[in-house]
Amino acid sequence: MKLESLLEDVTARGGSDLHLIHGLPPIARIAGEIGTLSHPVLDSDGIQALLDPFLTDVNRELLKKDCRVNCAHTIAEGRYRFSVYKALGTVGASIRALPHKIYPLSSLGLPPIVGALGHKKNGIILITGATGSGKSTTMAAMLEWINQTGKPAKVITIEDPVETIFKPCHSIFVQREVGADTPSFAMGIVDALRQDPDVLCIGELRDVESINAAFVAAETGHLVLSTLHTRDASKTAQRIVTAVPAGDQEGMREHLATTLEAVISQELLPRADGKGQVLSCEVLIVTTAVRQMIRENKLEAINDAIQSGMSVGMTSRDASIKNLYARQLITREVALEHMRHPETLGKS
C-alpha cells in the first residue's frame, strides 16, 4: 500500500480528507461523511512508513519535538495538506486534498461583492467558518482575482502550511510558511511590514500577537486577508475583542471599528442530489452604522445590520440558504436546520 494510491482513491470518490489512525483501516471523508476504505487495518509503524517519503528532516524533528507537524506536498499533480500527530503514543495523520486549481470567485457561489472587496486598498477582510467550510479556497480565489484583475501589487502570504502556489500575473507573490520560513504568524506579519507589501494574506489569526500585528498592518495602509474559525460576523467581532485582556478591549474595539472592512462567513451544506456540498455564504460590509455598533460594544446587533444592508451588497445567511433551496440545490430539511429564522422559509 502506498500513500499515493490511497489519496488517488479518496480524490477519485470526490473525497476531501484521508485519515490514518492506528488500529483502523484508512478512513475518508466524502461529501461530508466519514467512512472506511476497503484497505487493511493500519498500525503506527505502517502509518509512519506511508508518511516517511513525504516528510523532510525538519518535519521529522518537529514531530519528535512537538508531537505534531503541519506541512503541504504536491503528489501526482495534486496538492495536499498534512497534519501529522501523536495519539496515545502512536502516529496518526489527517491529509486534506487541496483544490487542483484556483477556482474563479463566480464558480464558488460567492456573491459579486466579494470580488469588489479584493480591490480595496487597505483594511481587514475576514473569511470565517468551521473547519472544512472552504475558507482557504475562497481566500485563494480572492488572491487570484487580485492577481488577474487588479493593479500591479506585491502580495505576501503567511501560512501554516502554504497551500496554493500562485503564479504571477498582475501581482507578484512572496509565500512564507510558518515553521519553515518564519517562526510564527506574528513574526511573519512584522517582517512583512518591512517588505513593501500591498496585500498581506495571513492563513489564520490564532492568537493575540497575530491579531494585534494584523491590525497594525491594516492601520498602516495595507489590505489584510485572513481567516477565523467563527460562524458569523457577530461572533467574529466578539472573538477578536475578547482575545485581549479586559483592560484592552475598548482599544481593540476601536481598532476593529477603524480597520474591519468585511466579514465573509461560510458554511458547506449537503446537496439535495447527494453529489457533494454547496456553499452558503453570508457577507457583512462594514458601514458607518456597523462601525458605531462595534465602538458601542453592540456586537450582537451586527448580524441584524446585515438584514438592512442588502443595498450595499450584504447577504444574510438566511437569504443565501433560501436561494439555495429555491434553486433546489438543498433540501427543505437542510434549509430549516441551518437558518437563523427557519419560520421565514415559508411552506413548500
**Taking the chain (348 residues) in consecutive chunks of 10 residues, what is each chunk's mean pLDDT?**
90 92 96 90 96 92 92 85 96 90 85 92 96 92 94 95 92 93 93 96 93 94 96 95 94 96 96 91 96 96 90 93 96 96 82
Rounded CA gap, 318 and 309, in Å?
14
Query: 3-97 maps to which CATH number?
Result: 3.30.450.90
Place of cell 513574526: 187
Rounded CA gap, 332 and 327, in Å?
11
Amino acid making up residue 71 = C
What is the arrangement of strands in the sheet containing 33-36, beginning at the earlier edge strand?
A: 33-36, 27-30, 15-20, 90-97, 78-87, 68-75
Give me the CATH topology for the region 105-344.
Rossmann fold (3.40.50)
Cβ atoms of 309 and 330 closer than 8 Å: no
Cβ atoms of 224 and 203 closer than 8 Å: no
- Which residues have a Cβ under 8 Å from the Cβ of 43 and sit 6 or more positions away? 22, 23, 90
Residue 348 has a pLDDT of 53
C-alpha cell of 167?
Answer: 503564479
Residue 106 has a pLDDT of 82
Rounded CA gap, 31 and 244, in Å?
37
- Strands (DSSP E) contained in 162-276 are 171-177, 199-202, 223-228, 260-270
**Domain segments of the chain as ranges:** 3-97, 105-344
Residue 131 has a pLDDT of 87
Backbone angles phi, psi at 301, to 5 degrees: -80, -5
Cβ atoms of 154 and 130 closer than 8 Å: no
Rounded CA gap, 150 and 170, in Å?
7
Backbone angles phi, psi at 112, to 5 degrees: -55, -30
CA–CA–CA angle 73, 61, 84 (5° rounding): 50
Rounded CA gap, 200 and 184, in Å?
15
- Which residues have a Cβ under 8 Å from the Cβ of 98 and sit 6 or more positions away? 72, 78, 79, 80, 81, 136, 163, 164
